[in-house]
Amino acid sequence: QSLTEVKAGTECTIKWMFGAQVMELMNQYDIKEGSTISVFGQGWNSTIIGRDDVRLAIGSEIAARIKVKAGWSFIRRDKLIQIL
């Protein structure tokens, strides 16, 4: 599935990335095919991901070119508190 389809709070493994721009951006942060990343947020036109001490906000166009295998959720949904 595409990175844009992964819910926030999910850890996933990058299966493949398409495009020189995507590969160059991710390689700058030592993120490559086979890397495990965490999805911290999904916005209207961006996705926030992280690995180790790196956090990246990437546009939806780039996130759509990254295919992942979703793993487990690192947020316990029963402990979330809705703030009004």
- Residue pair 39/72 in contact (Cβ under 8 Å)? The answer is no
pLDDT over 50 at 81, yes or no: no
Which long-range contacts link 27-31 to residues 24+ away (Cβ below 8 Å)?
29/54, 29/56, 30/54
The encoded tokens of residue 4 equal 């844009």
- What's the whole-model pTM score? 0.79
Q: What is the pLDDT of residues 26-54, one digit of tens each?
A: 899 999 999 999 999 998 899 999 998 89
pLDDT over 50 at 84, yes or no: no
If you ran DSSP here, which 8-state letter would residue 78 be given?
G
Distance of alpha carbon 47 from alpha carbon 76, whole angstroms: 20
